[in-house]
């Protein structure tokens, strides 16, 4: 079974659940006063979440206990 992490949604979005094994890479996103992380997946899709890149890195490294707000 694939590991799934729950990240806070960007802006007014609700929690976003991500299959960690599908992540190719991620990068910090910033616009005006808002920041988050763009996550890019193996199928070519991408997702903007309201978490700092360090939170995404921790989830990938195995700290999946984090719950979305």
* Per-residue pLDDT tens digits for 2-15: 899 999 999 999 99
- The phi, psi pair for 22, rounded to 5°, reads -90, -5
Residue 66 has pLDDT above 70, yes or no: no
Q: Label residue 7 exposed, middle or buried (CB < 10 Å: 0-12, 13-18, 19+).
A: buried
The pLDDT mean for the chain works out to: 90
* This prediction's pTM: 0.84
Q: How many Cβ atoms from other residues are within 10 Å of residue 68's Cβ?
A: 15
At the top level of CATH, the class of 4-60 is mainly beta
**Cα–Cα distance measured from residue 18 to residue 63, given in angstroms and rounded to the nearest whole number:** 14
pLDDT attached to residue 64: 47
Domain boundaries, the chain: 4-60
Q: 47-59 pLDDT, tens per residue?
A: 999 999 999 999 9
**Between 64 and 63, whose confidence is greater?**
63
């Amino acid at each position: 079974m694939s590991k799934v992490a729950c990240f806070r949604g960007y802006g007014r979005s609700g929690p976003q659940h991500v299959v960690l094994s599908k992540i190719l890479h991620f990068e910090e996103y910033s616009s005006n006063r808002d920041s988050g992380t763009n996550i890019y997946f193996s199928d070519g899709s991408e997702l903007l979440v309201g978490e700092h890149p360090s939170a995404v890195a921790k989830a990938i490294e195995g700290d999946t206990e984090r719950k979305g707000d």
